[in-house]
Structure 1
């Protein structure tokens, strides 16, 4: 290379560094792209996204291509740098060129382009794919040979390269993405999405109207009393039974009863029973995501939850499941959590015994046990195995609970003091 001027060599060296920076930045940009955004852009018809997605379908080939190009230009740059150094400084120029070139390559061909590519992967990967796509075709024989040698060496040490890594997200990973997308999704929508993901963890037992709160009509009762109950019922559906709720016979839509009242037909017990629907039974422990599909498949909106012995435990409707996702409807007749709790200045919370443990955990970020009982009353009775007297204090997990009021064998009100500071408050 003696006939080549030093200036030409320096310019060539700079070009090599720029090409090295291109390969380094392209590799980082390609590998740090958001694959789900890339797939979205590709499906929308973005040509650059389609080109990049095609390159990433075979990441081993892409990496091999980038490494071949990067190493070739780096080796060539090293050789040119050595020649330039010797021309300018003699034998000492080898050491000088090595030090300067190492610094230049690290800063301008590695750290700087990779940092920029990591910060702006789309702006780097999309334009660079224009050159990488044809380069991959041109250098395919060399890339193929390199990959074959690599796979052979991997097999010699017992590593198989044919196992495809799934790009699908697990529920926990999806939950993390939703939690971290607060800049793109409102808090309310985040809560709704997380509630949908949690449907399989929640069963009908957790949200059902308990047996003692089910509104029903004894069809064997006085007819005038039945008419009065139908006329003033705040609910859309009422269970019809004989003597006891365990002998339920049908589910009546109140609007059907009103229709019978307004028609000229005779309004009798028999006409009411004919207008009622057959009861739909739900096994206890059914996850909400399963039950929602069953409601849709069976064209039902409400059902009675029964245990393994067929005894009625509660009532669940489609609205109850939807409330688990979107929150309480304003038309709900049940008290809201904000009506059942009263945070105090000392950090404690006054809570009605009928308050749902799951709702409390979600509202206050608590971790009270919710597997065995739905309500505060049930949780305390489960822990004590007896009905406590007012003034009793019990510690459950990390919570000191004072029993304030007990009536009719039920705990009506308690004061809960978390051992750890209260981190969240109930939103009205």
Structure 2
């Protein structure tokens, strides 16, 4: 070592430390980089991203190269510092101990902690350029990597660790995808984020949550006088009507109002049979079907309207394809006047909100930012009846989840109008 100038030895030591720092920083950056964004860049033709993907598909070889290089470099640094210390202060145990401690401190600070923090902070900026260097190094060091991995694989085999499986499974669960959307911040527009979150919730929402309740269904009774049927057809709001005979549990079909209007325009005496010929078979849905499954059924059966029935076959409500679409992207269709689900409602300046008892609890939670339970009753009326366990009189108040609910009007054994008063928690 005495033949080598001191400045060259110090320069070599600095270069080795920087090289060790490079491998440590690159390793952390490659492991911390966003794989999904990386694949997106690669699909768009980004050359550095393609190279980085190539490296990450060979994680075993990549880690082997980095660890072999780091170990050899650190060993060379230790040997060089020890030689410099002996040359300067003599061959003494204390000198060697102090030199070893000093180089350990230098490696921890300058070749481990600081580079790894930088790599974790700027993974994409570091990993992409570094991949250009690492790819040819892997090819050049292939014999060494193969030789070292012989012993590594033998050891892992003794430990019964299966090395054939990929080191990382990058498939995401719906919950993880939901978290990614929530953490998207300003990268995802608020409307897009809302739609994506609604899509994730479809399997946890049943058709009961989005249906038009039985009491609000506009249906046609074939047992009614012809004049009444004609009057209802000319004033109805929807383009499809469920048709029943006698009582609504006996639904016999669905009528397209346009076809009925064409029939009414004819100058002839109409009978019930004329309208019966226009009916299409009804499509029934079990009440516990989740919304996503029902959307699939609508698509497979080419249906747009379904009658929801319970386990006894009694009609509970009606759900249309538009209801499911609105659940995903928000309301966009016109609705029947007086339909509580279509009304826009919000808190007043005094923290009050007047609602119909038939308003959906899910709509209330979404629009008013409340936390009413959704596991039982589906409407505000049902929630109050569950809590009170009786049909109350008007001017009764109850507190539920930081909200005072005042019953304003009771009509026909149900709560018609309520007033909500927000309580700041």
Q: What's the TM-score once normalised by structure 2's chain length? A: 0.89
* Residue 318 of structure 1 pairs with residue 294 of structure 2: no
Aligned equivalent of 2:355: 351
Unaligned runs of 5+ in 1: 422-428
* Residue 15 of structure 1 pairs with residue 18 of structure 2: no
CA distance in 1, matches of 2:283, 2:222: 19
Name the SS for the 1:359 alignment partner.
helix
* Residue 285 of structure 1 pairs with residue 288 of structure 2: yes
CA distance in 1, matches of 2:160, 2:354: 62
| Aligned pair partner of 2:138 in 107, 122, 136 | 136
Aligned equivalent of 2:416: 412
How far 1:310 moved relative to its partner? 1.2
CA distance in 2, matches of 1:260, 1:337: 31
| Aligned pair partner of 2:381 in 377, 380, 386 | 377
Deviates more, 1:125-134 or 1:332-341: 332-341
How far 1:342 moved relative to its partner? 4.3
Cα deviation digits, residues 265-297 of structure 1 (max 9, x gap): 886543433233211111111111110011011
Answer whether contact 2:340 2:358 (CA < 8 A) is retained. no
Answer whether contact 2:341 2:360 (CA < 8 A) is retained. no
CA distance in 1, matches of 2:347, 2:129: 59
| Aligned pair partner of 2:335 in 332, 344, 357 | 332
CA distance in 2, matches of 1:145, 1:413: 79
How far 1:61 moved relative to its partner? 2.5
Deviates more, 1:268-277 or 1:312-321: 268-277
Deviates more, 1:181-190 or 1:204-213: 181-190
Deviates more, 1:60-69 or 1:97-106: 97-106
Aligned equivalent of 2:207: 204
- Residues 342 and 331 of structure 1, relative CA distance in 2, 3 Å threshold: same
CA distance in 1, matches of 2:344, 2:55: 57
CA distance in 2, matches of 1:56, 1:93: 43
CA distance in 1, matches of 2:100, 2:107: 10
- Residues 101 and 240 of structure 1, relative CA distance in 2, 3 Å threshold: same
Answer whether contact 2:283 2:305 (CA < 8 A) is retained. yes
- Residues 152 and 266 of structure 1, relative CA distance in 2, 3 Å threshold: farther
Aligned equivalent of 1:425: none
CA distance in 2, matches of 1:157, 1:417: 64
Aligned equivalent of 1:29: 29
CA distance in 1, matches of 2:283, 2:342: 29
Aligned equivalent of 2:406: 402
Cα deviation digits, residues 316-340 of structure 1 (max 9, x gap): 0000001101111251222357645
Aligned equivalent of 1:424: none
CA distance in 1, matches of 2:72, 2:162: 28
CA distance in 2, matches of 1:265, 1:358: 48
How far 1:9 moved relative to its partner? 1.4
Deviates more, 1:131-140 or 1:234-243: 131-140
Aligned equivalent of 2:118: 116
CA distance in 1, matches of 2:332, 2:236: 18
CA distance in 1, matches of 2:152, 2:421: 62
How far 1:183 moved relative to its partner? 1.1
CA distance in 2, matches of 1:56, 1:391: 67
* Residue 85 of structure 1 pairs with residue 85 of structure 2: yes
* Residue 182 of structure 1 pairs with residue 185 of structure 2: yes
Name the SS for the 1:249 alignment partner.
strand
Answer whether contact 2:345 2:367 (CA < 8 A) is retained. no
Aligned equivalent of 2:392: 388
Deviates more, 1:158-167 or 1:205-214: 158-167
How far 1:97 moved relative to its partner? 4.9
Name the SS for the 2:250 alignment partner.
strand
CA distance in 2, matches of 1:93, 1:226: 107
- Residues 387 and 350 of structure 1, relative CA distance in 2, 3 Å threshold: same
Name the SS for the 1:245 alignment partner.
coil
Name the SS for the 1:246 alignment partner.
coil
- Residues 81 and 265 of structure 1, relative CA distance in 2, 3 Å threshold: farther
Deviates more, 1:324-333 or 1:255-264: 255-264
| Aligned pair partner of 1:194 in 182, 193, 197 | 197
How far 1:171 moved relative to its partner? 1.1
Unaligned runs of 5+ in 2: none
Answer whether contact 1:348 1:417 (CA < 8 A) is retained. yes
- Residues 275 and 338 of structure 1, relative CA distance in 2, 3 Å threshold: closer
Deviates more, 1:391-400 or 1:172-181: 391-400
Q: What's the TM-score once normalised by structure 1's chain length? A: 0.89
Answer whether contact 1:328 1:336 (CA < 8 A) is retained. no
Deviates more, 1:281-290 or 1:124-133: 124-133
Equivalence map 1:164-313=2 (5 Å): 164=166, 165-262=168-265, 269-313=272-316
